[in-house]
Amino acid sequence: MERTFDITSVREDFPILGRKVYGRPLVYLDSAATAQKPRRVIDAMVALVEGSNANVHRGTHLMADESTSMYEAARETVRGFIGAAEREEIIFTPGATASLNLASRSLCELLVGEGDNVIVGKMEHHSNIVPWQLACLGEIRPLPFTEEGLYDPKALEALIDERTRVVAVTQCSNVLGTRSNMARIAEIAHRYGVVVVVDGCQGVVHGTTNVRELDCDIYAFSGHKLYGPTGIGVLYGKRELLERMPPVLGGGNMIATVSFTGSKWTELPYKFEPGTPNFVGAVGMAEAIKYIGEFEPGDIERHEAGLLDAATRRLGEIGGLHIHGTAPGKAPIISFTVEGVHGYDLGVLLDKQGVAVRTGTHCAQPLVDHYGSGSMCRASFAMYNTVEEVDALVAGVVKAVSMLRK
Ligand SMILES: Cc1ncc(COP(=O)(O)O)c(C=O)c1O
């Protein structure tokens, strides 16, 4: 039976929310950096470590069987969660950054030579820019975005050509909260036979994701932003593409045979999972997915949208405060600057009032540079935040600004 969304009982699921900072209740508005974990995620990992800890896919003993079964069940949970067709299309990685490095290195080796190009969005997190710079022998073409924070399909049409091999974009901006028109981007790219790589780090957290509906070829995300643990993430790929992609990391478990005259890779998904995987993290991430799946579809998003609306309206009333990224349908992430105030100073003074936000360039320097601001302040909301916390943010900003402008 689905669980009714009740904010008081949701908050009780997250042990950390009871803590105080500087003697005040914690107001945690930095979930886009990493989300807090419900008790059941922590418990699931402790139970595995205390009860069945053994390396996966190697042992002949009972505990090895148990941990392997839990690891593979986690893969199935992830598969269902993102609507992938087959479990072989789900590769566990240490996180989105690792997934995007793997994808870029493998795809560039497979597809990109001199004279070819890769289109990379200008709003991207550094994790979806720098790996392409490291791996790509061809040209990297930055895809511009509009003032309201969207990739314009017309700009993509203008950049793409018969030598384009990959388009790499985010599903949802970690700075602006704006959501890309993925269907349109994939349609244009596929018309040219171009591989579409999607950074799903924020998109997967806020709203339902179905990789087949997105029609992306590669999709990457991290467990820790999804109420799961750190050190675990996912690389989804369409089977046909993954079959052709070469592995980029070698070691145990990813081989069929090894000899000094040449080794052969094993089948998917293990071809891309060398070494001992983070099976404890995978089980924790699967537990987080089951946790959010308990609620009626749409309830979490409605709650978060209410917080975003309230924050947008109330922050917008503060003189000299500018909210960046105004496209409709945003995820609950709001970045702003205040005239005459440095983002870092604002963040420090908010912290002293118990409000945790993030400031700086948010690992998306080209985006922040575009808005001409050295440092933005970002409040990001999650399922456990409240309207009272929006009030605390607004009051904190008003107070900090009055102190800093003196
Ligand atoms: C949109 C986006 N992409 C990639 C990343 C990198 O994720 P991780 O640090 O978990 O590898 C982040 C993290 O902030 C992000 O928000």
Mutate to test the pocket of ligand 1, among 100, 127, 170, 235 (most ligand atoms within 8 A of CB): 127
97-118 pLDDT per residue, tens = 999 999 999 999 999 999 999 9
CB 160 within 8 A of CB 194: yes
The closest residue, in CA terms, to atom 13 on ligand 1 is 33
Encoded tokens for 166: 């990959």
Look at phi and psi of residue 159 and say left if phi exceeds 0, alpha if psi is from -120 to 50, else beta: alpha
Phi, psi for 356 (deg, rounded to 5):
-95, 115
What's the pTM value of the predicted model, to 2 decimals? 0.97
Q: In which residue ranges of the chain is CATH 3.90.1150.10 found? A: 7-30+297-404
Rounded to an integer, what distance in angstroms lies between the CA atom of residue 106 and that of residue 249? 10
The closest residue, in CA terms, to atom 7 on ligand 1 is 96
DSSP state of 272: G
Q: Which residues pair with 377 in a beta bridge?
A: 336, 359
Which helix H or strand E contains 378, and what residues bound it? strand 376-380
Q: Quickly tell me which residue has 């009740």 as its tokens.
A: 6
Question: Which residues lie below 8 Å from residue 60, measured CB to CB, with a gap of 6+?
Answer: none
Rounded to an integer, what distance in angstroms lies between the CA atom of residue 41 and that of residue 63? 20
Going from the C-alpha of 92 to that of each of 57, 201, 277, the distances in angstroms are 14, 14, 8
68 three-class SS: helix
DSSP state of 105: H
Q: Which residues pair with 257 in a beta bridge?
A: 264
The distance of Cα 59 from the centroid of its chain, to the nearest Å, equals: 33
Which helix H or strand E contains 321, and what residues bound it? strand 321-324
Question: Which residues lie below 8 Å from residue 282, measured CB to CB, with a gap of 6+?
Answer: 71, 74, 75, 92, 223, 232
Task: Output the CATH code of domain 7-30+297-404.
Answer: 3.90.1150.10
Q: In which residue ranges of the chain is CATH 3.40.640.10 found? A: 43-292
Q: Quickly tell me which residue has 């990224």 as its tokens.
A: 325
Encoded tokens for 341: 């105030």
Residue 172 bears catalytic tag = no
Q: Is 82 exposed, middle or buried (0-12, 13-18, 19+ CB in 10 A)?
A: buried
- CATH entry 3.40.640.10 includes domain 43-292: yes
Residue 232 has what pLDDT? 98
Rounded to an integer, what distance in angstroms lies between the CA atom of residue 360 and that of residue 309? 23
Low pLDDT (below 50) residues in the chain = none
Residue 15 amino acid letter: P
| Among candidate residues 249, 254, 272, the one with its CA nearest the CA of residue 264 | 254
Residue 58 has what pLDDT? 87
Closest atom, ligand 1, to C-alpha of 199:
3
233-245 pLDDT per residue, tens = 999 999 999 999 9
State the DSSP string of 12-61: HT-GGGG-EETTEE-EE-BTTT-----HHHHHHHHHHHHHT---TTT--S
Pocket of ligand 1 (CB under 6 A): 32-33, 95-97, 125, 127, 170, 174, 199, 201-202, 222, 363
Mutate to test the pocket of ligand 1, among 230, 363, 368 (most ligand atoms within 8 A of CB): 363
